[in-house]
A and B are shown apart, each in its own frame.
Chain A
Amino acid sequence: MDSEDTATATDSAAGFDVTVTMGQMDSGLDPQDHAETNTNIIVSQAYEGLMDRDKEGGIVAALATDWERVEPGVARFTLRDGVTFHDGDPLTAEDVAYSIRRIVFNDVGIASPQSTDLGTLKSREADGPPPVEPGDGEVTVRFDGLNPIVFQLFATNGEILQQSWVEENGEDYINRNTNGTGPFRLSEYASGNRVVFERNEEYWGDVPEVTETTLNASTESSTRVNRLLAEESEIVTNVPPQEVARVNESDAAEISSVPSTRIIFLQMRYDVEPFSSQEFRQALNYAVDVEEIVENVLNGFGSITSQPTLEQFVGHNPDLDPYPYDPERAEELVEESGFAGAEITLETPIGRYLKDVEIAQAAASQISELSNVTCEVEQREFNALVQDVTASSIEDRPRFNLLGWGNAEFDASQTITPLLSSTGDLTMLKNDEIDGLLADAESEADPEAREETLQEANARLNELAPWVFMHQQFSVYGTSTDISWEPRADEFIDVDTVSQM
């Protein structure tokens, strides 16, 4: 079968085609009615938000050219002129306002799973101007409180749809078609099979070099790698460590990796023995050799963490060191905690995160090497584990489990608040000092002062050790040597930046 028969890189006078193979296909094309990465990758080819991020996570302009905090809790976005949807209609402030309302308010169109992603908006019943107000080429958004990270939130979330298009078409239609402003427009949607986009010649920004892009999926990692090596795909996602050598040995492809925004950790419930003891929690941090796990289980595709906040995030504390591997110190701390002889069970999801079961087994085995603690692993189907992790009462949550957390907003608060504050929906910790520091950060308008507060919270969390701090997961891609593309920290695949070698 020659290359012209396949929907893959073919030279043409006007550009070239790119096929991307992921682990899963989309869960519908409505950009506001999902909460998972693969769908994001697909819909982001066609839809855009007011702001965007560069490869490293820095904030850049998109459909808004300017943004400002006009007063505490009120943000104003100035819209870009001359932007049109794929159907040719111009982007209006009403479209932007409607899109924000559709995400936030459950009675506008859908109950969006992204309803908290833009921060808490002012109530519509409250006196005064409305929470989302379209103006002349601008949109004003009013929040309940300061919302100090409003621009971080809008840089990651909030794709814009056309109001009339949404209202005229049903949910089924919106999930099978697109009408965005992005660099690519939909040309074919075969649900669960492939999504094909052609480049948007009317795009407001740089028109992509790529003429057509096909996004498909293979759940089997070996099939994804085979597609890459057979030159049927130019980019494949999530190449597992055991397949890396096969890619590197090939002339057709190479490995590209980048630290992702996902942190992996073992969380411990503060309210049950033996995890109620800070000494015991610290002991487990000394007992697990994360460096060895990253090297041997992940083939080096990970970096060790010392705190809940990753290095490139706002609030990361650069003065903290990871806990060293020191089993003797761990045994001493277990003795001090009064829980010598403890038998604990680590619950882990199966196949949700890269090598999750192997990581949990390695960590449990290292803990069990201590003379005074025994640790077993319980493998859980992810959905069943999530049911427990998200239980409304902390008493119903697991005592000790492996979890991963993606934070595409690049801000410490978006990890610490849900996972480690007493009001967090997934919290395993209740600590007044941490709550106080988070409240201070939430009401602090000065970015530098806010970052210092968050760094202090991270220092305190390192000491409190509510998690066994494991590693930052890397995104590992296989890419064809025919193309040039730099992966992004936030796991999106920006096909519009792909160029030909």
Chain B
Amino acid sequence: MSQGRFVAKRVLQGVGVVWGVVSIVFLLRFITPGSAINAVAPLDADQETRQAIARELGLDQPLHVQYGDYLVSLLQGDMGFSYVRGQEVTTLVFSKVPATVELAVAATVVAIGLSIPLGVVSATRRNQPVDWLATLFSLAGISTPNFWLGIMLILVLAVQLGIFQTSGRAVAAVEVAAAVVGPASFVKTLRLWLAHITLPAVALGTYFTALVTRLTRSGMLDELGKPYVRAARAKGLPEAMVRYKHALRNTLIPVITVLGLQLGTLIGGAVITEAVFSWPGLGTLVIRSINLRDWPVLQGSLIVIGTSFVLVNILVDVVYSSLDPRVVND
């Protein structure tokens, strides 16, 4: 199978997954107790007002009509109108994507930046103090709930020491980039951005860091014991080349898979971290939409999250197939 066909197959599977998500979420609204009308109308709204709101929102139509209309609109790129906010879902959902992606990428950068060097050092200095420290760190990182870590980070580093902001997102990463050439002070914008994103990125990335550290350490130990490493060393290759060009490259194959899957999870699953830090991303939007029964926004958010997950997975598969061409033929 060529790599092109391999990717096409993955894309088709992804479309099926997203369609499945849309359909399941759409059907769930009919078995979930509560109605969007209750989120829009006051408690004492009379039946006439409730019916008028239902008509306006299209909720008086039968299930199959609503489903058909929704799919047709979706194919035209229209995710509909928010029941509660009176805003276009496409605009609303995509306005949250940058915040979520920014946080996920920041958490991933924290994780990669710490975990791979830590894992490598830990493996190459096995049973030495640095290995024990790294093992202890990864155990603590995996065991610590990120909401607790987030609260502690806020209390110590934001409230007590005042180094970082407690919550919120004052500027976007793109504004920092724009400040390089624009009129705003780059240093000031960068400091403001770092003051807001550092704590949530660390809270979100800690589990991930610990996981990848362990994975890198065990992968490296495994690779370093293999015959090809002995052969490379026997051939007289420098130790750095043996470790980083040969052993680390092979270690990275499962690490990249985990990184990719975790990035997808971070995009859709940073709900608790977003809540603790009032980070205005997709997770916060999903929770609010569930509470308000704002189904169009919920569906739109899940489509974007599902699509992101699928895209990240395809990307991982492509990278994986480049690192190990045998995958394409499996």
Contact = CB atoms under 8 A, between A and B. Distances in A.
B38 A113 contact: no
Nearest to B279: A193
Contact of B38 (A27, A194, A386): A386
Interface in A154-177: 171-172, 174-176
Top 10 nearest A-B pairs by Cβ distance? A383-B34, A193-B280, A384-B33, A418-B44, A111-B52, A35-B42, A28-B85, A218-B278, A106-B52, A175-B86
A463 to B, nearest CB: 24
B291 A116 contact: no
A392 B49 CA distance: 12
Contacts of B92: 191-192
24 contacts: A1-B191, A1-B195, A24-B288, A27-B292, A28-B82, A35-B45, A111-B55, A113-B49, A171-B81, A172-B86, A192-B92, A192-B96, A192-B280, A192-B284, A193-B99, A193-B169, A223-B167, A223-B278, A227-B166, A227-B167, A229-B159, A387-B35, A389-B43, A425-B47
A381 B46 CA distance: 22
A190 B277 contact: no
Interface of B: 33-35, 38-47, 49-50, 52-53, 55-56, 81-82, 84-88, 91-92, 95-96, 99, 151, 154-155, 158-159, 162-170, 188, 191-192, 195, 275-278, 280, 284-285, 287-288, 291-293
A230 B155 CA distance: 9
Contacts of B155: 226
A390 interface: yes
A191 B87 contact: yes
Contacts of B278: 216-220, 223
B52 A1 contact: no
B86 A113 contact: no
A114 interface: yes
Interface residues of A, number: 56
B288 A192 contact: yes
Nearest to B40: A113
Contacts of A222: 151
Contacts of A419: 44
Interface SS majority for chain A: loop
A490 interface: no
A224 B195 CA distance: 17
Contact of A226 (B35, B43, B46, B158): B158
A425 B88 contact: no
A28 B86 contact: yes
A227 B191 CA distance: 18
Interface of A: 1, 5-7, 24, 26-28, 30, 33-35, 106, 110-111, 113-117, 171-172, 174-176, 190-194, 216-220, 222-223, 226-227, 229-230, 232, 381, 383-384, 386-387, 389-390, 392, 405, 418-419, 424-426
A114 B42 contact: yes
A5 B192 contact: yes
A271 B280 CA distance: 47
Contacts of A1: 162-165, 191-192, 195
Given A1-B195, A27-B85, A116 B46 contact: yes
Contacts of B287: 219
A106 B293 CA distance: 22
**Of B35, B38, B188, most A-chain CB atoms within 10 Å:** B38
Nearest to A117: B42
Given A192-B288, A390-B43, A226 B159 contact: yes
A387 B85 contact: no
Nearest to A227: B166
Given A1-B165, A28-B84, A175-B85, A113 B41 contact: yes
Contacts of A229: 159
A25 to B, nearest CB: 8
A390 B45 CA distance: 9
A227 B52 CA distance: 41
A194 to B, nearest CB: 7
A405 B188 CA distance: 47
Contact of A383 (B35, B44, B45): B35
